[in-house]
Amino acid sequence: MNPLYAIVLGLIVVTLLGVSLARLGKVKTKADYLVAGRSLPAFVLVFTLLSSWIGSGSLLGGAENAYKHGFAALWQAAGGWAGLLLIYFIAPRARKFAQFTIPDMLESRYNQTARLLSVIAVLFTYTAITSYQFIGGGDIIHLIFPSISSTNGAYILAGFVIVFTAIAGMGSVAYMDVVIGMLATVTLIVALPVLIHLAGGWSGVHAALPATHFQLFGDIHPINAAELFLPTCLLMLGNQSMYQKFFSAKTERDATLAVGGWMFGTVVLETVIVGVAVAGSALFRTGEVSEHPREILAYTATHAFNGSPVLSVLGALLVGSIFAKVVSTANNYLFSPATNIVNDLFVRYMRPEAGNKEILAVSRFMVVLLGLWALLQALHIKSVLAMSLYAYTIYAAGLTPVVLAAFFWKRATSAGAVASIAAGTAVTVGWQYLTPHLPQVLAQRDAILPAMLLSVLSLLIVSLMTTAPSEEKLRPFA
């Protein structure tokens, strides 16, 4: 074990703990905990949005895809980029609406049933996303401390994330993301050209890998590219964590400005991540990482940058920033469903008269409970890429159509929304049980296409068959 890596990791943990504890004294009310008192400026929003979006899905799942298929892996990232173009126009409307959660918004636009079904979809999606952050963090801990297994590393990471998330809520998460986002952005951008040089320059990278690694679709079929693109795009468009950040913005203008910075940062960082994974795969085509390609970024950081003290520092910072990004994403996706249970179930139906102290206590308890559920899921994950696409698809098919319809289709009705959420969620969760009984041409497809088709058709057909919503329902979304 190189002690430098342990030192850098320790400094990152201490820094994040310091930021989290510094925000603790500012948490007095439900709004302080759930949406940072609606006080986040554009600069903070940019980095918290960037850090929550780019986590193990990109750093492990996307990197694993890049190791196997090269730059065709960017089809997954491109889905997020396309979603961001539309989000630019949604952000100010979301801040104007200024609720706490997506189910809040869906009840206002549709009905209570839509609210409850959306809570179920969020819980399935976000705990699944949190679970593979635990796996990613466990892999990194194992690479730095070989005596600690990846499984035990996942336990350590889970405990760390649960404590940090519970401490100070959205304010803690957002300001930790500023530190993490700046560290990861600078380190990854610096590391890419150095790594290409270590691999023999661009010509060396190109010579070491199949030609398909540098083609538009590479060795994947365009339908497979669509199955990477669509879940990411649609998750981005309906992402509750994102809307919660918009609800936390100081003003509508801050929310709009943040999307511009977020868009630029996402395009740059996700391209750099794939570039690092491709360059790393040119250096390490065989050995341990070929059996666990999801580890390519962390493995490259710990094995490629060893030629000098300067390179060692860069490698340590790279693995530290990857670890920090995993922590950040886990914080965000663990915090969000805890918010749902507290705001959309506990306060809404069980204890509407609950005071701030009671709400804060229940919120922290739910962070712990959901963190343990996510850890249980993590122990059964075989592929981060497959798990990420599963999680994205639940949300993409179950919630994104009705979220977009809330803002952009006045004719969408409560019955249509309920039918859409139920259909999209049910098809995604049940697809693995249906495929053994389907024709081969359907069985080999991911759930996104059938789930999305049925969800959208349900929304359209049922809405057109039922009474149009009132002007009172539509007014907050204008």
* Domain chopping of the chain, boundaries: 3-386
pLDDT value, residue 199: 94
3-state SS track over 451-469: HHHHHHHHHHHHHHHCCCC
β-pair partners for 249: 40
CA distances from 361 to 29, 333, 335, 338, 441 (A): 11, 19, 14, 12, 50
pLDDT value, residue 33: 56
Residue type, 426: A
> Chunked in runs of 10, what are the mean pLDDT values of the chain (478 residues)?
82 78 63 58 80 77 90 91 80 61 82 88 86 88 89 92 74 68 89 95 95 92 87 78 70 80 89 95 88 88 87 91 84 81 82 81 88 90 74 84 89 95 89 78 78 94 94 80
Burial 44-57 (b: 16+ CB within 10 A, else e): bbbbbbbbbbbbbb
pLDDT value, residue 379: 86
pLDDT value, residue 270: 93
**Could you give the dihedral angle defined by the CA atoms of residues 473, 340, 343 and 23, in that order, rounded to the nearest 10 degrees?**
-120
Which two structure tokens, joined as six digits, stand for 457? 């058709």
pLDDT value, residue 280: 94
Distance of alpha carbon 345 from alpha carbon 322, whole angstroms: 35
Question: The CATH number of 3-386 is which of 3.30.1360.120, 2.70.70.10, 1.20.1730.10, 1.10.760.10?
Answer: 1.20.1730.10
pLDDT value, residue 413: 96
pLDDT value, residue 27: 59
| Burial (CB count within 10 angstroms: exposed 0-12, middle 13-18, buried 19+), residue 437 | exposed
Query: Which residue from 255, 16, 282, 315 is spatially nearest to 157, judged by alpha carbons?
Result: 16
- 8 Å CB contact between 87 and 258: no
Residue type, 143: L
pTM of structure: 0.79
Rounded to 5°, the CA angle 61-426-342 comes to: 80
pLDDT value, residue 203: 95
3-state SS track over 211-265: HHHHCCCCCCCHHHHHHHHHHHHHHHHHCHHHHHHHHCECCHHHHHHHHHHHHHH
